[in-house]
Structure 1
Amino acid sequence: MAIGNHASSSTPPSQSSPIHIRDTPYDAQPQPAFNYHSLDGQDPSICIDNGAHSWRAGFSSTASPYIDRTNLIARYKDRKHGNNVLVFGQDVEADSNSRSNARTMFDGDLLTQADLLECALDYTFCKLGIDTPKIETPVVMTERLANPLFSRALTSELLFELYNAPAVTYGIDSLFAFSRQRHDDGLAINLGHQSSTIIPILGGKSIPSRAKRIPWGGAHASELMLKLAQLKYPSFPVKVTPAQASFMYRETCYFATDYDEELRSLADPDKLSAMTKIVQFPFAKPEVSEKTEAELAAALERRKEQGRRLQEMQAKQRAEKLAAKMAELEEYRLLLSERPTMKKAEFVSRLVETTPFETEAELDAWIKRTEIEIRKKQRKDLGMDEEPEEEPSFPLVDRPDSELTEDEVKEKRRQRLMKAGWEARVKLREEKRKEKARLEEEKRREQEERETNLMGWTLKLKDEQEAVMLRIQERKKLRAQLGDRKSAASQSRMKSIANLAAEEKTTKKRKKGEDDDGFGQNDSDWAVYREIGGDDESDAEEDDQALLESIETRLLQYDPAFTEEQTMLGRAEAKNKLINAFVRGGSDGKFDPEDVEQSHQLHLNVERVRVPETWFQPSMFGVDSAGVGEIAGWVLNGFEEEERKRLMQCIFVTGGAANIPNLIPKLRSVLTPILPFRAPLKIVSSLDGGDPRLEAWRGMAEWSVTEEAKGARVTRQEYDEFGGEWLKEHSWGNVPP
């Protein structure tokens, strides 16, 4: 049974309340100095866990490190007061000056900046209350696996030359943590900040020659979380800092036992919403004067009254226009009724002076059109159907021009145009009637096919539905491509324009009477203009939308297996629901961009499993390396059967990432297929359910009082004789040169 502080469930429950980002990550109250003189009579060592992420230091006689801070240093000059400022730990987040000047003593996980290490040691010895001219107690420090000689020499030179330390001992952090397990054999897996290491231990002694290192750690996971958040919310109102990204990764992520299956399950919007965690960033809520219910009701009533007045004004305007038209019609009728009492020339003269018409025929035609128009409006206001159009008469069309006067010839031309329009309308009505009959016949045949072969009928309609949806999607894609000048569609359009422009320059203007080239007779000719103009084919799209609606209506009516989710709208809603669950957690309430609180929220769901999975699949994000589980299995299988069984009895996991839930079940699921069938496997984490982050320091503190630790100390005399690279071999350290 696995020991540790992690649940074995596959998916941890989602947190319903938001996780709040601290707006002051630095320490508001400074930590007091340790009472160094309270250790009189004891012989403790100063234990320092110099990690790439955290700096932990304290005396070995205490149960936990007195100092536990982020391993960052900021040095700058305060121009306002003219003071040199030195900030260590999470206090670098205090203001913009310290944040912009924050640095680390490591390059990756390699110690390179001795001046920053000196700052950290100054802070440590001051906080530990050491007020003597020199350090009087031995120092035990951690170092990386296969630490280079120059890096160790930098540390030794500072401790011996600057602080006059009596003795120094170095060891590997994950091995110090493993020493607490009281096992002689096992595998120490450290999920560190800049890298991860796997070190085998046999007979109480590490075997660094068989150890492996993976260039992926918590810093890379935090960076990945930051990039995913920026990609998901490109217009987030505040800048997400690396420290905040690290907080999100540590507080929200968990290992998925089966990553692929977990991702497939998240295709369900409900499951995606259930596992979403909301991260709330600090924000300043604007002061808004809230209106009372009476004020809101009064405003609503005012809007309704404005709507009613607008409708009344529109109705009044329509009535006034109709009354003016009727008055004008009555005036022209009266003028036309006086025609028998006047001579023709006199009537025409009066007609030209008082009306916009030049002939009696124009006046008569206007009166007839206006009467029809007024009747249509009156019938429409009363909710009645339109009057059937009467067949007009055209008496002058069939008479020869020789029998007509000049005015009658003009009237004949007008009647010929009116007759052509009438015949066109009659032809159109006949075509509509035939089309209606054809549709009724198709409907009858379709009904007959549906009754005799329902399955074949539904399959044919579903194929037609897919074809119509594909056409609609292709049009949308084409419109999007035409909006991008670098797309293939836009470039093809520009080539067509350039070719036509070149032809225009070389082609002379055709004179009257020359032969026509026939351009425009084929539909393909007009396709050129559609391509150049970016025509969106709105008519064709409307036809396809109507056809799709008809198909889906019939399928919903007659096919019991066809549901609303299979319609185009249903598919779009499912996709939108999934997108909403991904971006906004599938919240029931509509997202309000004006709400400051909502706009300062990040919804993390898929990221919660994607980021930790990088330890087991670094290649997903461009790191050319195998994962922790695969390499651990490869290291174990490199031993003989008996040794492998001993190693498998204590696979110990430590480091900051060991706090991520579900790590032990994940590691077990990866190792089980790699190792021999049914081989006993025990994976452990922190001792007694403690914090895996502190295991290295506690193991160092417990080991520092042993005889082995005392024998592994490098004294000042040995440093003067052999140099800073000198190292004594012990069970939990690097192999000396």
Structure 2
Amino acid sequence: MDGAASNHASSSSPSRTNTVYIPEGGYDAQPQPAYDYHSLDGTDPVICIDNGAHSWRAGFNNSTTPYIDRPNLIARYKDRKQGKNLLLFGRDTEVDANSRSNVRQMFDGDLLIHSDLLECALDYTFCTLGIDTPTVENPIVMTERLANPLFSRAMTSELLFELYNAPAVTFGIDSLFAFSRQKHEDGLAISLGHQASTVIPVLGGRGILSRAKRIPWGGAQASELMLKLAQLKYPSFPLKVTPAQATFMLRETCYFSTDYEEELKEMADPVKLSAATKIVQFPYTAPEVNEKTEAELAAAAEKRKEQGRRLQEMQAKQRAEKLAVKIAELDEYKLLQSERSTMKKAEFMSRLLETTPFENEAEMDSWIKKTEVEIRKKQRKDMGFEEEPEEEPVFPLVDRPDSELTEEEIKEKRRQRLMKAGWEARVRAREEKRKEKERMEEEKRKEEEERETNLTGWSAKLKEEHEAIIASIQARKKRRAQLGDRKSAASQSRMKSIANLAAEEKTSKKRKKGEDDDGFGMDDSDWAVYREIGGDDESEAEEDDQTALQSIESRLLQYDPTFNEEMTLIGRAEAKNKLINAFVRGGIPASQKYDPDDLELHHQLHLNVERIRVPETWFQPSMWGIDSAGLGEVSGWVLNGLEEEERRRLMQCIFLTGGAANIPNLIPRMRNTLTPMLPFRAPLKIVTSLDGGDPRLEAWKGMSEWSKTHEARSARVTRAEYEEFGGEWLKEHRWGNVPP
């Protein structure tokens, strides 16, 4: 994994103590064995093959570990470029797109059904082990599943005897071979396999298959669950996560929780959720970036500042030019206004119409007065002075009768009447605003008195109002969300209201004979139906609620010591966002913000709850729709179904094997689950590998050691026996399936 990690760009990476790197695709390059596969005593060593649903392990029994340990995957295809038929096995199948698209397995679940793929795996095995003779001269010991069907065994025997001319073959159950390494004659062999988990009691050094149980949940289902949870959590992840990568995440990040429910409750705290997060870093290719020097960055920053200053100067210059044009225009019209007394009325009107856009003298006077006010405001604003108070306007023509006025003055009188009405409306609005301010001050004074005399009651009343407003805001948001879904009850109710209102609306349209369309929607008045059920009132109510909520929260924060920031609406939302952020990006340090443009962060999965949720399925398969009891419950049932003395003996060696036995905390979790089911204070011993090694290899090591015994020699099915009794013939031994 360290070699794969070096291919990741991590120039800006935080501490990687909680980071797991997905290894990049590689090859299982294995040299040919350097030893002779013939024993010194003249007999041929036994070839031991552990044919698992996930891994294929093979080697001679004079070795301590299997020489071949690869994923049980086969890719057989024709390379068009080379014109050759290729056979790839294990991780070699990831060499290119053609090999990956042709990957197959010999198993359907944990049932061996594809003889052609088994033949490919055996060809690879015998060639890799250095067997260069036309036939295989070594006896073979091979694992099989619990209660293996006869046709699977017959298919395997036929291949070994007919195709390879093997001298003898022996089959045995993988978990019992692993248990054979233990020094106990009695115990419980529990295998956490790839496609299924099995529980087999062992009494007197023999597996009691009539009491064995099988759970249809294994590492393959757990890996698929991990993959689905990751896809659900990160729907826009840039890479396609493969099942092999999901299995890697399961084995490298997950652990069994000793108290699942309690630990799940603790993860509701964002801090603990972040602490439990493991970052899974996927490989990516960082683009080449030409980094600028500090001098170049400083020059660019100074250039941006200079551009900003120039833009401000240009805007100020444009404002000054516009103001100067306005002043010049005002001076021109004021000059014309001053010359009015020296001209005749007809001459003045003629010049007014020729040189100005105004139609009469009153419009020019109004524009001059208005423009003077605007210019003074802009000049005072530029100098930083406050605005001048609005002067009360004069309307001299409003009170004069129309009989005393000319036609032009009557028009001006109408304009002044409108201006006076607007002025009076503004005065009334200011007065109402002043009265409202006085009323608010009076209410504030009364509230202060109540707060000083009865702080608890005052706070309780405001908190009730606070909760009511929050409930109203949330109900409004929920309704909007429901209206977005046309199948929701709220949306259906709204459509019914529209239909009812449309039916009640009377239109002036006359339907033509034989015409189905009633013309609804042709007139603007028809759309009043939609205005009647519009959301204008809701938007105004939402603004009022937000204003009232801010006022209440500010007062409670100021005077109520029991009310803090976390109780506010924003505080509640932030708490929820913190939990969501911890769930999705919990592994990122607080000092580093998530940058969606950062390729390294974009290629990360953050696993926290999934780390305990996926392994929990071995003990609660019903969580994910499997109609079966869990591993602990089944084991307890098997133990409690025996006599007291037999149960006591089996409890001294609860043996765990299989790939998933490497997941941390399995033994403590198994102990916590079994203890309440068994007699009070009964001794209980749970173990995994005998020498502290990898539980995955226990089955191969057990069959390798057992194959050297006299019992193994007597349990061999020879070629003569195969030819006489057929491929379904099986000799019974302690660690094998019961013969039919």
Q: Per-residue deviation at 1:173?
A: 0.5
Q: Per-residue deviation at 1:478?
A: 4.2
Q: Is the 8 A contact 1:185 1:647 kept in 2?
A: yes
Q: Is the 8 A contact 2:142 2:171 kept in 1?
A: yes
Partner of 2:301: 300
357-366 or 481-490: bigger deviation: 481-490
Give the structure, 1 or 2, with the largest relative contact order (CA under 8 Å, sep 6 or more).
Answer: 1
Does the C-alpha gap of structure 1 residues 505 and 452 become closer, same or farther in structure 2, counting only changes over 3 Å? closer
Partner of 2:249: 248
Amino acid at match of 1:456: G
Question: What is the alpha-carbon distance in structure 1 between the residues aligned to residue 255 and residue 627 of structure 2?
Answer: 23
Q: Is the 8 A contact 1:145 1:734 kept in 2?
A: yes
Amino acid at match of 2:262: E
Amino acid at match of 1:341: T
Question: What is the alpha-carbon distance in structure 1 between the residues aligned to residue 349 and residue 202 of structure 2?
Answer: 121
Q: Per-residue deviation at 1:180?
A: 0.9
614-623 or 103-112: bigger deviation: 614-623
Deviations 1:455-474 (A, max 9, x none): 22222222222233333334
Partner of 2:665: 662
Amino acid at match of 1:386: E
SS in 2 for 1:85: strand
Partner of 1:614: 617
Deviations 1:596-645 (A, max 9, x none): 22211222211111111111111111211111111111111111222211
Q: Is the 8 A contact 2:636 2:678 kept in 1?
A: yes
Q: Per-residue deviation at 1:266?
A: 1.3
30-39 or 592-601: bigger deviation: 30-39
Partner of 1:520: none
Question: What is the alpha-carbon distance in structure 2 between the residues aligned to residue 84 and residue 201 of structure 1?
Answer: 47
Is the aligned partner of 1:62 residue 2:93? no
Alignment equivalent of 1:691, drawn from 690, 694, 713:
694
Q: Per-residue deviation at 1:36?
A: 3.4
Matches within 5 A, 1:178-197: 178-197=179-198
Deviations 1:173-231 (A, max 9, x none): 11111111121111111000000011111121111111111111101111111111111
Matches within 5 A, 1:431-580: 431-493=432-494, 507-508=508-509, 528-529=530-531, 531-532=533-534, 537-580=538-581
269-278 or 458-467: bigger deviation: 458-467
Question: What is the alpha-carbon distance in structure 1 between the residues aligned to residue 267 and residue 529 of structure 2?
Answer: 44
Q: Per-residue deviation at 1:412?
A: 1.7
Q: Per-residue deviation at 1:38?
A: 5.2
Partner of 1:346: 347
Question: What is the alpha-carbon distance in structure 2 between the residues aligned to residue 37 and residue 200 of structure 1?
Answer: 36
Amino acid at match of 1:694: L
Q: Is the 8 A contact 1:20 1:280 kept in 2?
A: yes
Is the aligned partner of 1:587 residue 2:600? no
Partner of 1:637: 640
Amino acid at match of 1:388: P
TM-score calculated relative to the size of structure 1: 0.92
Partner of 2:8: none
Q: Is the 8 A contact 1:75 1:85 kept in 2?
A: yes
Amino acid at match of 1:709: A
Question: What is the alpha-carbon distance in structure 1 between the residues aligned to residue 286 and residue 320 of structure 2?
Answer: 52
Partner of 2:4: none
Q: Per-residue deviation at 1:133?
A: 2.5
Amino acid at match of 2:565: E
Matches within 5 A, 1:697-712: 697-712=700-715
Partner of 2:128: 127
Q: Per-residue deviation at 1:294?
A: 0.6
Question: What is the alpha-carbon distance in structure 2 between the residues aligned to residue 179 and residue 625 of structure 1?
Answer: 28
Partner of 1:716: 719
146-155 or 593-602: bigger deviation: 593-602
Deviations 1:255-287 (A, max 9, x none): 111111111111222222222222221111111
Count how many residue pairs are aligned between Structure 1 and Structure 2: 707
Question: What is the alpha-carbon distance in structure 2 between the residues aligned to residue 288 and residue 119 of structure 1?
Answer: 47
Q: Is the 8 A contact 1:34 1:128 kept in 2?
A: no
Question: What is the alpha-carbon distance in structure 1 between the residues aligned to residue 364 and residue 209 of structure 2?
Answer: 110
Q: Is the 8 A contact 1:170 1:733 kept in 2?
A: yes
Please tell me the root mean square deviation across aligned C-alpha atoms, in Å. Answer: 2.2
Q: Per-residue deviation at 1:247?
A: 1.0
Question: What is the alpha-carbon distance in structure 2 between the residues aligned to residue 115 and residue 470 of structure 1?
Answer: 66
Is the aligned partner of 1:677 residue 2:670? no
Matches within 5 A, 1:171-320: 171-320=172-321
Partner of 1:330: 331
Amino acid at match of 1:39: S
Q: Is the 8 A contact 1:580 1:586 kept in 2?
A: no
Structure 1 residue ranges without an equivalent (≥5): 1-13, 510-524
Q: Is the 8 A contact 1:35 1:128 kept in 2?
A: no
Deviations 1:642-685 (A, max 9, x none): 22111111111100000000111111111112222222211111
SS in 2 for 1:687: coil
Question: What is the alpha-carbon distance in structure 2 between the residues aligned to residue 543 and residue 101 of structure 1?
Answer: 64
Deviations 1:693-720 (A, max 9, x none): 0001111111112222222211112211
Does the C-alpha gap of structure 1 residues 310 and 245 become closer, same or farther in structure 2, counting only changes over 3 Å? same
Q: Is the 8 A contact 2:191 2:198 kept in 1?
A: yes
Matches within 5 A, 1:719-734: 719-734=722-737
Does the C-alpha gap of structure 1 residues 359 and 537 become closer, same or farther in structure 2, counting only changes over 3 Å? farther
SS in 1 for 2:130: coil
Q: Per-residue deviation at 1:31?
A: 3.0
Q: Is the 8 A contact 2:74 2:104 kept in 1?
A: yes
TM-score calculated relative to the size of structure 2: 0.91
Deviations 1:572-614 (A, max 9, x none): 2222222222222243312222222221122221111111111
Partner of 2:359: 358
Q: Is the 8 A contact 1:109 1:144 kept in 2?
A: yes
Question: What is the alpha-carbon distance in structure 2 between the residues aligned to residue 369 and residue 710 of structure 1?
Answer: 117
Matches within 5 A, 1:28-107: 29-33=29-33, 35-37=35-37, 39-41=39-41, 42-107=43-108
Partner of 1:410: 411
Deviations 1:225-254 (A, max 9, x none): 111111122122221111111111111111
Question: What is the alpha-carbon distance in structure 2 between the residues aligned to residue 613 and residue 15 of structure 1?
Answer: 27
SS in 2 for 1:23: coil
Does the C-alpha gap of structure 1 residues 686 and 629 become closer, same or farther in structure 2, counting only changes over 3 Å? same
Q: Is the 8 A contact 2:37 2:44 kept in 1?
A: no
